Structure 1
């Protein structure tokens, strides 16, 4: 492979893998916030246990995802100096805002939420998780503004060989950013819904905590029902902003087929859930349905990754479509150095993915009573947090 091909592969690895972490983080944060709202205003002990259990899984995914995001930022500086030199004002501004939101606001309030369980008023504690959720949405928006500019450059002027912001309004209301935002948020909600439903189904098949996992299963399936059609709709309206260069048409076509096939399967599962949800007994006795939900868990990830490939490969050979070619933005470094970089990052990403899956699997299998999140230091292992 050429140095350019290795650099592109490194970008695909880091951005694509990081996106998989982001999807579950966005969706699960929303579901945890909703469940905690019900716990605070409804006073239901089951909902409180759900917040601790699902919240712990959210924190695990968030923490590992942060590391993948740092590695993605590293490869930008390592491989693509032409992008940062030519478009630092236009491309860098939303990324800088995302950094401020993600690392200074979202992470700070998440830390307060994690360590403030038995120290803060329950309404103040609830406000923290909603702030975390909304700042996560803002972080995703700023990232998509930067990405939208690559696919559909607007709001800029050329000045001395550099691109500068000419219209902040055009840049931040770019349809190539706003439409993907709807797609990403609904897709994240769909991913978290299937995650919650699949984990709950696995436990119900083993007759564990039927009341706890029955409620979790219903929340997960309702999330799937609410998100499955908007995900497809927001995806469909993006086609005018997705390029289809002849050189990558086979790859784009294959990824589009995979994406739509995965969505079709999820839609069928959603229809099955729509029929079963009104009948609690039928829902719990349907062991075949529970198995189907469990094995469907990987499909949201498959669909998102295929959709990302379809969107991003089509603009080649342009890094900024019609403005900056990919070959003109890559760092002129030796083939051996680039190969060493992609090998090292690949090993790190593989390790992070394995660690994340292992931790999620381990803590998901343990059940709600083993959740350490929100555990009072003086409470017995099986006692709920006294704050609520």
Structure 2
């Protein structure tokens, strides 16, 4: 067996799984931060309940998404040692910053937010969720800095057969980053918006007694999805001009093999935009919550941004081949000296792990989503059980 296609398929699977978790995490944390800001300023109890409900779903997705990210970074040292040896000085810098600064700070602030309910001053508690949001976006920034370097290796020079970093600022102004980062962040907003709309639609289908709660949530989700859909299309087409400068061959979809995923991504993107426009019009006319046939379509529509995201990621990665670092290092030269059998074994093991994580994430999210928000008379913090003799 040839180890190269197995290793590529393994990393593609790992990256795709992790990317889906990241999109929903970024989208939901933005919704939670905005909702808590409105609750803190207005003092509306319903907005505070919305913060807790959608925040609980965000935390579940965040926790399970961490494992996929850890496994993905392990693969750089296990399967792609050629990349680490050749470009580790450059490629590793943004990854180290993402792990040591953005990720650890995000986890710390998230812990303060979770355990600070009813204990921290309301403005301090609000600040913690915004710090969680900002560090989450910073994490996405540095991940995209690393990936954009692979697409367009700026800020480095070859020395003794390896790449050396000579301008970190060039990594932050990389045309491949400037064009793609807003597109990814917009996709996250659309994902969070569609998720909130789909869950709210489910409760209207089930004729929930929490009418006001999910009416407010539906409005928030529709507006978020509309903004995300507009930006994701605008920023998506804006990338074509930059691609023509550093990877002109990628625009020829038939020769690079990206025609199909590109078509899927563009089609789903316009379907999402159409859905959000219709939803906004119906929302303005106060018809959206009463249009039951549309409510049944909103629930499976949660999957639309995920499908578009996978298509977009395939376009970005497949279109770079046969280069791992564009024009500098071929993918075939970056693979570790590991037998195909061992890579296949790890691929199967990781595949089973990711499938289990995906199922666990779906089960937990759907269970909490179906249960709905806590009752209005519920205490701000659940009481801890008292153990005899303690």
- Is the shorter-chain TM-score for this pair beyond 0.5, marking a shared fold? yes
Of 277, 293, 299, which aligns to 1:288?
293
C-alpha deviation, 1:144, in angstroms: 0.4
Contact kept in structure 1, 2:253 and 2:259, CA below 8 Å? no
Q: Distance in 2 between matches of 1:370 and 1:353?
A: 29
1:217-242 deviation per Cα after TM superposition (whole angstroms, max 9, x unaligned): 01000111111111011111222325
When residues 374 and 248 of structure 1 are mapped into structure 2, their CA distance, relative to the original with a 3 A threshold, is farther
Match of 2:220 in 1: 219
Q: Secondary structure at the match of 1:227?
A: helix
Contact kept in structure 2, 1:18 and 1:69, CA below 8 Å? yes
When residues 344 and 283 of structure 1 are mapped into structure 2, their CA distance, relative to the original with a 3 A threshold, is same
Q: Distance in 2 between matches of 1:153 and 1:180?
A: 15
Match of 1:384 in 2: none
Match of 2:64 in 1: 64
Match of 2:388 in 1: none
C-alpha deviation, 1:159, in angstroms: 1.1
C-alpha deviation, 1:245, in angstroms: 8.7
Match of 2:231 in 1: 230
Answer with 44-53 or 228-237: which moved more. 228-237
Kindly indicate whether residue 275 of structure 2 is the aligned counterpart of residue 274 of structure 1. no
C-alpha deviation, 1:296, in angstroms: 0.9
Match of 2:108 in 1: 108
Match of 1:358 in 2: 363
C-alpha deviation, 1:374, in angstroms: 8.8
Q: Secondary structure at the match of 2:284?
A: coil
Q: Distance in 2 between matches of 1:367 and 1:379?
A: 22
1:66-114 deviation per Cα after TM superposition (whole angstroms, max 9, x unaligned): 0110111111111100111111111000000000134320001001101
When residues 328 and 83 of structure 1 are mapped into structure 2, their CA distance, relative to the original with a 3 A threshold, is same
Match of 2:18 in 1: 18
Q: Secondary structure at the match of 1:296?
A: helix
When residues 370 and 311 of structure 1 are mapped into structure 2, their CA distance, relative to the original with a 3 A threshold, is farther
Q: CA RMSD in A?
A: 1.9
Match of 2:348 in 1: 343
Contact kept in structure 1, 2:103 and 2:136, CA below 8 Å? no
Q: Distance in 1 between matches of 2:132 and 2:299?
A: 28
Normalising by structure 2, we get a TM-score of 0.93
Match of 1:45 in 2: 45
Contact kept in structure 1, 2:158 and 2:164, CA below 8 Å? yes
Match of 2:173 in 1: 173
Q: Distance in 2 between matches of 1:245 and 1:159?
A: 32
Structure 2 unaligned segments of length 5 or more: list them. Answer: 386-390
C-alpha deviation, 1:250, in angstroms: 6.7
Match of 1:257 in 2: 263
Contact kept in structure 2, 1:248 and 1:314, CA below 8 Å? no
C-alpha deviation, 1:41, in angstroms: 0.7
C-alpha deviation, 1:36, in angstroms: 0.2
When residues 61 and 248 of structure 1 are mapped into structure 2, their CA distance, relative to the original with a 3 A threshold, is farther
Q: Distance in 2 between matches of 1:361 and 1:368?
A: 13
Q: Distance in 2 between matches of 1:253 and 1:344?
A: 31
Match of 1:329 in 2: 334
Answer with 362-371 or 308-317: which moved more. 362-371
Q: Secondary structure at the match of 2:271?
A: helix
Q: Distance in 2 between matches of 1:210 and 1:247?
A: 47
Q: Distance in 1 between matches of 2:337 and 2:111?
A: 41
1:359-379 deviation per Cα after TM superposition (whole angstroms, max 9, x unaligned): 1011100000179x9951349
Q: Secondary structure at the match of 1:87?
A: helix
Contact kept in structure 2, 1:10 and 1:75, CA below 8 Å? no
Structure 1 unaligned segments of length 5 or more: list them. Answer: 381-388
C-alpha deviation, 1:247, in angstroms: 9.8
Contact kept in structure 2, 1:154 and 1:171, CA below 8 Å? yes
Q: May I ask how many residue pairs the two structures share in their alignment?
A: 378
1:191-239 deviation per Cα after TM superposition (whole angstroms, max 9, x unaligned): 0000000000010111111110010001000111111111011111222
Q: Secondary structure at the match of 1:157?
A: strand
C-alpha deviation, 1:298, in angstroms: 0.4
Answer with 148-157 or 230-239: which moved more. 230-239
Contact kept in structure 2, 1:252 and 1:310, CA below 8 Å? yes
Normalising by structure 1, we get a TM-score of 0.94
After the TM superposition, list the runs of 4 or more consecutive aligned residues in structure 1 that deviate by more than 6 angstroms: 245-248
C-alpha deviation, 1:248, in angstroms: 7.4
Match of 1:204 in 2: 204
When residues 83 and 251 of structure 1 are mapped into structure 2, their CA distance, relative to the original with a 3 A threshold, is same
